[in-house]
């Protein structure tokens, strides 16, 4: 029975927790662990991944699965923080010559990722010979989960106008210097800051006021520091590739210079100074910025990261260790909110209500401004609650009731339970409105928008920023059409192109766009085999065409494809 299987699975979880703490790699310093995984990400992403899509997927998987073993990493020894990256990686490999420990860590991270979905009922456990098989409760649930993951991909931060890497003569000249001339590296990065400032794409998450509350400086200042770090990371990536292609031995092992560029370790003071050279402004801003993205095992109760977000910086003693690849993926505003969500729930909930949701509503309203015939009202209160957004087309007497939910997960495609709970609250709020008589509903619409309607057709939409988290909204019978800001943009683009009625057709067009995305992405679930401590666990693995999702993401952001 499912209950028995779950009970046995959770018993095995406790066994796995105990055994992972005793593997030989548990005695390796934290510096060695980061150096090893930084190189694995680099190798599979840029070298093997350049010619093998499966290798690239492996690299992407490592970047977020590391977030599920952060507490294990935090418990490792913090000695020898100034160890060179090549020596640190060699120490990791020497302790684990057959990669048995690394395989166990990878499987344990995956196991830790999927177990919460079993607890939430999103996955069902079955006992099989010497292990467990995890699967969705129904084909409908499997499709809904895939939909939420694919839709979340449309809202991922990205860099616009990316071009293939061509090593400039300046970078080649830098690569020829030995040892690495970090001052010259910073100088080369300075020439790239403007490119990143123009091409970083992510919808505003929080207002400047809220950013000041969270970090002590504005969103504009955040972008200055972010783009400076991105430019520095890009130069380091290119230099690492040049060194690796020129110096890797027959076994593919990297040189010291490659490792020093892949898993950078600087004294914290030098880290801050070099970023200040690129970003300008107050040193204290950069200190707060780096700290907000730093894994720090010396503060176990305030450990950053988790649930798909791997902090790109690691504070080890008085040094900052960082990966250019992790920086370019995870230094995003959404991840600034990660700690507040976990450590100060009341403050986070206040921020959601007073900043995140109004910011998202404002972005939605801005998209509607191109349609002059619409009447729009924000935050209309009535006796059963508050309607976030009312959209009216007076000519056809169509009304859209929109509930907006602002929380978003940290970097990663799986929705958190907190996000799902907020979306379910929104669904409950939507269910209340149809309970009113039609005359009463028209009165509420008139009070908000000023539209005097004799009759009306009501449509319902629930909107989140990136994904919904509560996958039941994607299944038949949901009280509202689920949408995200990118899907809304794509739907409005299609309606504007054909001259459609926004109020009447927005929900159906969002559904149509979602259906096309699913069809074009060619998604499917397969069963992946995961050996862990003598057991075999089968888990559902989503496969889809990542190039298609990337094209949709860029089109939703207004880029020419």
Give, for 376, the enclosing helix (H) or strand (E). strand 375-382
Residue bearing tokens 């430019």: 231
Shared domain for 369 and 333, answered yes or no, is no
Give yes or no for a contact between 32 and 85, defined as CB atoms under 8 angstroms apart.
no
The burial class, CB within 10 Å (0-12 / 13-18 / 19+), for 230 is: buried
Shared domain for 191 and 217, answered yes or no, is yes
Shared domain for 221 and 198, answered yes or no, is yes
The CATH number of residue 469's host domain is: 3.40.1350
Shared domain for 299 and 435, answered yes or no, is no
Shared domain for 266 and 358, answered yes or no, is no
Burial code of 520-554, b = ≥16 C-beta within 10 A, e = fewer? ebebebeeeebebeebebbbbebebeeebbeebbb
Residue 466: phi and psi, rounded to 5, are -120, -50
How many CB atoms are located within 10 Å of the residue 212 CB? Answer: 15
Query: Which residue, of 343, 376, 394, is where some domain finishes?
Result: 343
Residue 223 CA to residue 212 CA, distance in Å, equals 13
Residue 11 in any domain: the answer is: yes
Residue 128 in any domain: the answer is: no
Shared domain for 330 and 367, answered yes or no, is no
Shared domain for 277 and 379, answered yes or no, is no
Give yes or no for a contact between 41 and 325, defined as CB atoms under 8 angstroms apart.
yes
Give yes or no for a contact between 99 and 70, defined as CB atoms under 8 angstroms apart.
no
Residue 302 in any domain: the answer is: yes
Residue 466 CA to residue 290 CA, distance in Å, equals 25
Residue 22 in any domain: the answer is: yes
Query: Which residue, of 343, 371, 391, is where some domain finishes?
Result: 343
How many CB atoms are located within 10 Å of the residue 18 CB? Answer: 10
Residue bearing tokens 């057991």: 535
Residue 204 CA to residue 337 CA, distance in Å, equals 13
DSSP 468-498: -S-GGGGSTT-SSEEEEHHHHHHHHHHHHHH
Which has the closest alpha carbon to 205: 388, 357, 418, 411? 357
Shared domain for 209 and 350, answered yes or no, is no
Residue 404 CA to residue 282 CA, distance in Å, equals 36
How many CB atoms are located within 10 Å of the residue 471 CB? Answer: 26
pLDDT of residue 409: 62
Residue 122 CA to residue 116 CA, distance in Å, equals 9
Taking only the tens of pLDDT, the chain with its 561 residues reads 455 899 999 999 999 999 999 999 999 999 999 999 999 999 999 988 778 888 898 999 999 999 999 999 999 999 899 999 999 999 999 999 999 999 999 999 999 999 999 998 889 999 999 999 999 999 999 999 999 999 999 988 888 877 767 799 999 999 999 999 999 999 999 999 999 999 888 776 677 777 888 888 999 999 999 999 999 999 999 999 999 999 877 777 899 999 999 999 999 999 999 999 999 999 999 999 999 999 999 988 888 888 889 999 999 999 999 999 999 999 998 888 766 666 677 777 777 677 878 889 999 999 999 999 999 999 999 999 999 999 999 999 999 999 998 766 655 545 466 678 889 999 999 999 999 999 999 999 999 999 999 999 999 999 998 888 888 999 888 999 999 999 999 999 999 999 999 999 999 999 999 999 999 999 999 999 999 999 999 999 999 999 999 999 999 998 865
pTM: 0.91
Which has the closest alpha carbon to 465: 356, 309, 390, 378? 356
pLDDT of residue 413: 43
Rg, the chain, Cα only:
25
- Which residues fall within 8 angstroms of residue 149, CB to CB, at 6 or more apart? 413, 414, 467, 542
Q: Left (φ > 0), alpha (ψ -120 to 50) or beta: where does 469 sit?
A: left
What the block records as the tokens of 136 is 């969705």
CA-angle at 407, arms to 111 and 299, nearest 5°:
60
pLDDT of residue 1: 44
Strand partners, 482: 462
Residue 140 in any domain: the answer is: no
Query: Which residue, of 343, 373, 403, is where some domain finishes?
Result: 343
Residue 137 in any domain: the answer is: no
Shared domain for 293 and 368, answered yes or no, is no
Residue bearing tokens 């890009």: 234
Count of structural domains within the chain:
2
Count of alpha carbons within 13 Å of 187, Cβ hemisphere only? 8
Give yes or no for a contact between 502 and 371, defined as CB atoms under 8 angstroms apart.
yes
Structural domain that includes position 490: 345-525
Shared domain for 473 and 511, answered yes or no, is yes
Torsion of CA 109, 114, 116, 121, to 10 degrees: -170
pLDDT of residue 270: 98
Residue 559 in any domain: the answer is: no
Q: Where are the alpha helices (DSSP H) in 248-332?
A: 256-262, 268-279, 283-292, 324-330
Shared domain for 366 and 219, answered yes or no, is no
Residue 327 CA to residue 335 CA, distance in Å, equals 12
Give yes or no for a contact between 467 and 419, defined as CB atoms under 8 angstroms apart.
yes
Contacts 24+ apart (CB under 8 A), 287-292: 288/215, 288/216, 288/217, 289/215, 289/222, 289/225, 289/226, 290/320, 291/315, 292/215, 292/336, 292/339
pLDDT of residue 302: 82
Shared domain for 334 and 367, answered yes or no, is no
Torsion of CA 149, 152, 154, 158, to 10 degrees: -110
Residue 149 in any domain: the answer is: no
């Amino acid at each position: 029975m499912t209950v028995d299987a779950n009970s046995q699975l959770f018993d095995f979880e406790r066994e796995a927790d105990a055994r992972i703490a005793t593997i030989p790699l548990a005695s390796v310093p934290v510096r060695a662990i980061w150096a090893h995984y930084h190189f694995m990400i680099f190798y599979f992403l840029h070298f093997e991944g350049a010619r093998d899509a499966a290798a690239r997927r492996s690299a992407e998987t490592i970047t977020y699965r590391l977030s599920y073993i952060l507490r294990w990493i935090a418990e490792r020894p913090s000695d020898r923080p100034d160890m060179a990256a090549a020596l640190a990686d060699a120490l990791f490999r020497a302790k684990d010559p057959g990669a048995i420990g690394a395989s166990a860590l990878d499987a344990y991270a995956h196991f830790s990722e999927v177990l919460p979905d079993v607890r939430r009922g999103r996955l069902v456990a079955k006992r099989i010979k010497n292990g467990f098989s995890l699967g969705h409760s129904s084909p409908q649930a499997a499709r809904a989960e895939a939909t939420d993951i694919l839709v979340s991909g449309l809202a991922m931060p990205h860099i616009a106008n990316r071009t293939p890497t061509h090593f400039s003569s300046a970078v080649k000249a830098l690569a020829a210097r030995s040892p690495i001339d970090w001052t010259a590296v910073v100088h080369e990065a300075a020439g790239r800051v403007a490119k990143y400032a123009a091409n970083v794409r992510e919808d505003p998450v929080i207002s400047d006021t809220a950013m000041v509350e969270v970090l002590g400086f504005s969103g504009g200042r955040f972008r200055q520091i972010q783009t400076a770090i991105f430019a520095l990371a890009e130069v380091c990536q290119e230099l690492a590739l040049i060194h690796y292609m020129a110096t890797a031995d027959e076994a593919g092992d990297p040189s010291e210079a490659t490792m020093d560029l892949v898993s950078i370790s600087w004294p914290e003071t030098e880290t801050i100074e070099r970023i200040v050279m690129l970003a300008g402004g107050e040193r204290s801003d950069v200190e707060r910025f780096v700290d907000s993205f730093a894994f720090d095992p010396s503060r176990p109760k305030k450990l950053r990261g988790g649930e798909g977000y791997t902090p790109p910086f690691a504070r080890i003693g008085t040094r900052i260790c960082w990966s250019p690849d992790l920086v370019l993926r995870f230094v995003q505003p959404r991840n600034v909110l990660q700690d507040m969500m976990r450590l100060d729930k009341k403050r986070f909930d206040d921020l959601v209500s007073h900043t995140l949701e109004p910011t998202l509503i404002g972005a939605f309203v801005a998209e509607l401004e191109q349609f002059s015939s619409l009447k729009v009202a924000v935050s209309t209160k009535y006796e059963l609650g508050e309607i976030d957004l009312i959209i009216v087309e007076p000519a056809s007497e169509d009304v859209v009731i929109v509930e907006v939910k602002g929380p978003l997960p940290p970097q990663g495609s799986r929705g958190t339970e907190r996000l799902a709970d907020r979306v379910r609250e929104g669904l409950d709020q939507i269910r209340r409105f149809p309970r009113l008589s039609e005359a009463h509903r028209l009165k509420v619409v008139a009070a908000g928008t000023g539209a005097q309607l004799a009759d009306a057709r009501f449509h319902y939409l629930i909107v989140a920023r990136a994904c919904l988290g509560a996958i039941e909204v994607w299944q038949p019978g949901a009280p509202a059409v689920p949408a995200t800001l990118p899907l809304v943009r794509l739907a409005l683009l299609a309606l504007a192109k054909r001259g459609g009625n926004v109020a009447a057709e927005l929900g159906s067009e969002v559904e149509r766009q979602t259906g096309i995305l699913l069809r074009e992405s060619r998604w499917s679930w397969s069963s992946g085999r995961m050996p862990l401590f003598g057991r075999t666990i089968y888990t559902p693995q989503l496969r889809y065409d990542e190039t298609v999702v990337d094209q949709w993401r860029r089109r939703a952001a207004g880029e020419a494809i």
